A and B are shown apart, each in its own frame.
Chain A
Amino acid sequence: MTQLISAVLYPAEKSVLFFKRLPVQLFLPVLSVGLAIAMDQILPRAAEQKVVGHPYFTYLLGVTLLGYMGMILVGLKYVKWHAAAVYIAPFYAGVTLLLNVLNMLTAKYALLPVLYFPAMDRVLEVLVNDASYLATCVIYSYRLLFIGWFFGAIAGISTGILLGFSKAANYWIWPFIRTIGPIPSTAWIPLVLVAFPSVISGSVFLIALAVWFPTTVLTNSGIANINNSYFEVSATLGAGRWYQIFKVGIPAAMPSIFQGLFNGTCASFITLVTAEMLGAKYGLGWYINWQKEMMAYANVYAGLILIAASFCLIITGLFKFKNYILVWQRGVIKW
């Protein structure tokens, strides 16, 4: 009898499990992407839009869908991947729908001014055709950004520590920093053009300046806000002045220092794009400006996409680094 029951129940149970594993919302993206591909393939292109060599929009949709399918397949075995697929499914479907609408507005019916709103496959075509040139631009931008950021961060943290621990430095230097610091670093361009021997060194200086100010201010305030009892404890344990600065002051101020670095990084992006206008040979900021002047908006969008991706990558990296350094913070301070 029990065997009979389980024989009847078992397949049902299995199918319930199977459906639990593949809830309906997992299929939303398939529907949305399918619709977008179908409409892109079937509807005719507006006569005003430039013709492209390949249906790049369909390619993009297809590639992302393949990736998503792969995620579901892996998810059948690994719960983590399954949960991730279920989580992103509605968002992915929604974004695809949005892109589909945008494709209608631009490529298919040209309802937006064609000059400023090129078809998406045009933008993708630029990314593919100009890939090596754009890669050079990304590398140049990254190089400028990293050198400037590095010097700015070192200078900012050092100045902040000096201000935080030395009364004399606080008295003599802080007033200058308070008045000069808030000037946007791009406003220094006229001076930088005269004072620096090359465009590169000038741009590096501007980026370093942009990172330096917020890092200095927040390092200083981080040190000022340290609970004094930490210093008292370390004094009773026999720690000297320098040991207190490096083993108590800096670790305790670290959350605030990271806040400063984060603000500085955002400021450095703005400065980078402006600094590259000074006459760089390559670079994303420079590329966008150049293409804008040529009224090549598809290229401008391609540049914007790359800027968004590169800066997002940097910020993500910074956050990962912060989480690694501030592992002790988990459960103490929330960002």
Chain B
Amino acid sequence: MVGSIRIQEVEKKFVNGSGENVQALFDVSLDIKPGSFVSVIGPSGCGKSTLLRLISGLSQPDKGHIFLDNMQITAPGADRGFMFQEHNLFPWLTIYDNIAFGLRARKLYKENKEKVTGILHLVGLDGFESYYPHQLSGGMCQRASLARALVGNPKVLLLDEPLGALDAFTRMNIQDEIQRIWKEEHMTMVMVTHDVDEAVYLSDTIVVMTARPGRIVKLVHVDLPRPRDRSAENFFRYSSEVLRLLHYGGTITEPEFYL
């Protein structure tokens, strides 16, 4: 099986708006098994999005290396699909042409035309081929964006808070769809999120990070059968563990009096 990611002692610095050096990532090492679903969660500024951009090759680490199936990552490539926080569909292309963009760019379109229609069906956008992005709702645009990232059969799908801007119900629907696609296509997925429930619902492993400097605090392995029940008791056990690690759990105070 393909799609293993190895992150070795990666560091990344930024110069922020006021000219200070910010340590976005400090000594981050992580092994991601092929075909697993990994969520990265942490407060803003913990470098989780930076980590995702490094895996995609959109930026390069200052120190350390990242490997995909033992090949070092140096540039963006079609083997790693990327779904952004904003849908970033090209407004001048129809939904169909947006989804076909990657295949056309790699001159694979002619042999794979039916893949485009297939993936349109997979994300539930049949009948919307000839619409322009501004004619669709936010949720539909994110579906199209997901389809665009998937159509080239990437080994890894990187998701940068893709559902953050959607309402709760649309979000849960698309979570189910992402999970279904993950199962059917057997691909590795790495998702950055703010949403603890989303992380517990979807992930095999949750990577909990802290800020300044951005480091990994703990890996939480979610050992629940799928499909998971968002309202089950053991579901809460995992979400409260993650919340505690992020210091958002309720403080437990010693009782003043014992009976």
- Which residues of A pack against B, CB within 8 Å? 227, 229-230, 232-240, 243, 247-248, 251-252, 254, 326, 328-329, 331-332
Contacts and interface: CB of A to CB of B under 8 A. Distances in A.
Contacts of A236: 56, 58, 76-78, 80-82, 149
B93 to A, nearest CB: 7
Contact of B105 (A227, A234, A252, A329): A234
Given A229-B88, A230-B88, A233-B88, A239 B105 contact: yes
B160 to A, nearest CB: 11
A252 B148 CA distance: 18
B134 interface: yes
Given A229-B84, A248-B90, A328-B93, A237 B101 contact: yes
A254 to B, nearest CB: 7
Contacts of A235: 58, 75-76
Interface string B88-126: 101111000000011011100000000000000000000
B105 A238 contact: yes
Contacts of A239: 101-102, 105-106
Interface-centre pick from A234, A237, A326 (highest chain B CB count, 10 A): A237
B152 interface: yes
A237 B102 contact: yes
Contacts of B81: 236
A112 to B, nearest CB: 53
A234 B132 contact: no
A237 B93 contact: no
The 10 closest A-B CB pairs, nearest first, are A238-B78, A237-B102, A239-B105, A236-B82, A235-B76, A251-B92, A328-B92, A238-B106, A243-B105, A236-B76
A327 to B, nearest CB: 8
Contacts of A243: 105
Contacts of A234: 101, 105
Interface in B183-205: none
B69 interface: no
Interface residues of B, number: 27
The prevalent SS among residues of A at the interface is helix
B86 interface: yes
Contacts of B92: 251-252, 254, 326, 328-329
26 contacts: A227-B88, A229-B84, A229-B88, A230-B90, A232-B58, A232-B82, A232-B84, A232-B88, A233-B84, A233-B90, A235-B75, A236-B58, A236-B77, A236-B78, A236-B81, A237-B78, A237-B101, A237-B102, A238-B76, A238-B152, A239-B102, A247-B101, A251-B93, A328-B91, A328-B93, A331-B134
B86 A229 contact: yes
Interface in B118-158: 132, 134-135, 148-149, 152
A239 B100 CA distance: 12
A240 B78 CA distance: 11
Contacts of A229: 84, 86, 88
A232 B82 CA distance: 9
B134 A240 contact: no
Interface-centre pick from A229, A238, A331 (highest chain B CB count, 10 A): A238
Interface-centre pick from A326, A328, A329 (highest chain B CB count, 10 A): A328
Interface-centre pick from B92, B132, B134 (highest chain A CB count, 10 A): B92
B82 to A, nearest CB: 4
Given A237-B101, A247-B101, 4 more contacts: A236-B80, A237-B148, A238-B106, A243-B105
Contacts of A240: 105
A247 B105 contact: yes
A332 B91 contact: yes
B41 to A, nearest CB: 22
A233 B93 contact: no
Contacts of B104: 247
Interface string B146-177: 00110010000000000000000000000000
Interface string B13-56: 00000000000000000000000000000000000000000001
Nearest to A237: B102
A12 B90 CA distance: 57
